[in-house]
Amino acid sequence: MSTTKQLIIDVASRLICVHGYNNTSLDDILRESGVGKGNFYHYFKSKEALAFAIIDQVIVKFSEKVLEPVFSSHELSSLEKVERFLDRVVASQRRNGCVGGCLIGNLAMELSDVHEGFRQRLAEVFCLWQERIEEALVQAKIQGSVSDRADPRRLAHFLVASLEGAILLTKVTKEISVMEQCAKELTHHLDLYRSSAAVPA
């Protein structure tokens, strides 16, 4: 990817994360990036096309930097992968200073009811997130570290929904303790399904 194209995506991502898609104009993006209209339209046919490129980049980065390092690890047990993932989400919010929240979550709230194309693409992100957690929980169940009472699909859905809600509340309150407490409670919830054989003596 060219430097200019990446610059446009990075600047637009930052602006949209803080101000929203509809409140971020093309002029805002051009001014902040220092890129002219001619260069912009060389890479993107429209602001909408730019938004899809941003979503695609978020999917790739989230997978490469968060999902894969955790869920492809050979050093962690399946249940530990889920717990490590929770830790990474908390760490991300801490690094961001509770500002911006989750770009995908922000776009989902703003655009899902008004743009079907965006809604479908954004839904894929949450499905990817949920699928990796579900796969880990299925393996944990097979390995015997999670009891037969657990339903991996429902549990994964609950974890994703809870984390997104916590990210939103953290953004509103500007208190990382909100995120930390939610992750702690989710870990306790996972403990409810931990098999007796997996509980440390």
pLDDT of residue 122: 84
Q: Contact, 97 vs 49, CB < 8 A? A: no
Q: Which residue type, as a one-letter code, is found at position 76? A: L
**What are the residues whose beta carbons fall under 8 Å from the beta carbon of 75, sequence distance 6 or more?**
none
- Digit-coded pLDDT (tens) for 148-163: 999 999 999 999 999 9
Residue 129 maps to a domain: yes
pLDDT over 90 (residue 131): yes
CATH number of the domain at 29, please. 1.10.10.60
| DSSP for residue 175 | -
Residue range 155-172: average pLDDT? 92
Minimal CA–CA distance to 190: which of 144, 143, 152, 142? 152
pLDDT of residue 107: 80
Question: Does one domain contain both 102 and 36?
Answer: no
Rounded to whole angstroms, the Cα distance separating 40 from 29 reads 10
Q: What angle do CA 18, 47, 33 make, to 5 degrees?
A: 60
Residue range 28-56: average pLDDT? 93
Residue 51 maps to a domain: no
Q: How many CB atoms lie within 10 A of CB 88?
A: 15
pLDDT of residue 201: 41
Domain assignment of residue 133, given as a range: 56-198
Instruction: Please report, for residues 87, 189, 201, the alpha-carbon distance to residue 170 in angstroms, rounded to integers and kept in the order given.
Output: 15, 20, 35
Q: For residue 41, what are its two tokens? A: 């339209």
Question: Does one domain contain both 119 and 179?
Answer: yes
Question: Does one domain contain both 109 and 60?
Answer: yes
Rounded to whole angstroms, the Cα distance separating 41 from 45 reads 5
Q: Contact, 105 vs 162, CB < 8 A? A: no
Q: What are phi and psi of 72, to 5 degrees?
A: -100, 5
- Digit-coded pLDDT (tens) for 61-105: 888 888 888 999 899 999 999 999 999 889 888 888 877 777 778
CATH number of the domain at 145, please. 1.10.357.10
Count of the separate structural domains present in the chain: 2
Residue range 106-129: average pLDDT? 84
Minimal CA–CA distance to 32: which of 43, 18, 45, 44? 18
